[in-house]
């Protein structure tokens, strides 16, 4: 997503503006506890509700795909994450739509965009609502399937493994899932690494075998 001069654009201000608009209203069918991203407090008038048309616009595939790509820097990734946390709060249907768009993006785009998508995945697995455990399983299963399809690209595999370890340090649900499915992950990593057995960067994958000593970061 670089511009014509090769510079990385800063989308953070624009996405922050979108976040203020989205987080000033409740997602449809929202019930207490409301998302912590809601900008109105108890002393303010009741927050308005996002309409079906609002949600249709926010979740239409072209707009959503573009929004996910805007998480290209940490600053813009934080802004995108705010919008997605608000929309996904206790909402399995919205989560699935975002995950589907993420999967398509990771399959179709190159290494440069992968970090954007992994930032969004980190946001989804760390969302502390009633669906967190289910969401973690859905997100990591989807990511593992993508890694299997992309296992001929060792840079992609390495980047995904590094981010999985970061996720495990921040989420006990990710930590538990990775310990449970470590053999499947190691199988994917091994099949990718055999392409370049002498590549030093791939040694980071060995950390997957050391999940037990990891300390969760709260």
pLDDT attached to residue 102: 93
Q: Which of 2, 50, 59, 41 is nearest to 22 (CA)?
A: 50
| Residues 6 or more apart whose Cβ sits within 8 Å of residue 197 | none
Is the pLDDT reported for residue 117 higher than 80? yes
pLDDT attached to residue 131: 94
Average pLDDT of the residues in 188-214: 48
State both tokens at 31.
């019930």
90: three-class secondary structure by DSSP? coil
Over the stretch 19-69, which tens digit does the pLDDT of each residue have? 999 999 998 878 888 899 998 765 566 788 999 999 999 999 999 999 999
Q: Which of 67-81, 144-158, 180-194 has the highest mean pLDDT?
A: 67-81
State both tokens at 84.
């997605």
Q: Which of 186, 209, 191 is nearest to 149 (CA)?
A: 191
Q: How far apart are CA 198 and CA 48, in angstroms?
A: 57
DSSP string, 136-168: HHHHHHHHHHHHHHTTT-HHHHHHHHHHHHHHH
Q: How far apart are CA 105 and CA 28, in angstroms?
A: 26
State both tokens at 75.
């600053």
pLDDT attached to residue 206: 45
Is the pLDDT reported for residue 197 higher than 60? no
Is the pLDDT reported for residue 208 higher than 70? no
* Cis? peptide before 33, omega within 30° of 0: yes
Give the relative orientation of helices 111-125 and 154-170 as an angle to the nearest 10 degrees: 20
Calculate the average pLDDT of the chain: 81
């Amino acid at each position: 997503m670089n511009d014509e001069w090769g510079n990385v654009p800063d989308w953070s201000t624009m996405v922050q503006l979108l976040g203020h608009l989205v987080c000033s209203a409740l997602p449809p069918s929202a019930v207490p506890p409301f998302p912590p991203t809601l900008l109105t407090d108890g002393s303010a008038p009741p927050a308005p509700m996002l309409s079906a048309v609002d949600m249709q616009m926010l979740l239409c595939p072209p707009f959503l795909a573009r929004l996910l790509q805007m998480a290209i820097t940490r600053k813009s990734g934080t802004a995108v994450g705010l919008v997605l946390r608000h929309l996904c709060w206790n909402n399995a249907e919205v989560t699935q739509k975002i995950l589907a768009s993420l999967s398509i993006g990771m399959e179709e785009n190159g290494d440069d965009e992968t970090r954007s998508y992994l930032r969004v995945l980190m946001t989804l697995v760390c969302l502390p609502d009633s669906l967190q455990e289910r969401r973690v399983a859905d997100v990591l299963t989807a990511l593992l399937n993508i890694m299997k399809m992309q296992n001929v690209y060792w840079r992609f595999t390495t980047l995904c493994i590094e981010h999985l370890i970061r996720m495990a340090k921040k989420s006990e649900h990710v930590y538990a899932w990775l310990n449970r499915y470590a053999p499947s992950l190691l199988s994917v990593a091994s099949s990718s690494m055999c392409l370049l057995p002498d590549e030093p960067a791939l040694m980071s994958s060995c950390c997957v075998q050391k999940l037990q000593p990891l300390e969760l970061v709260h």
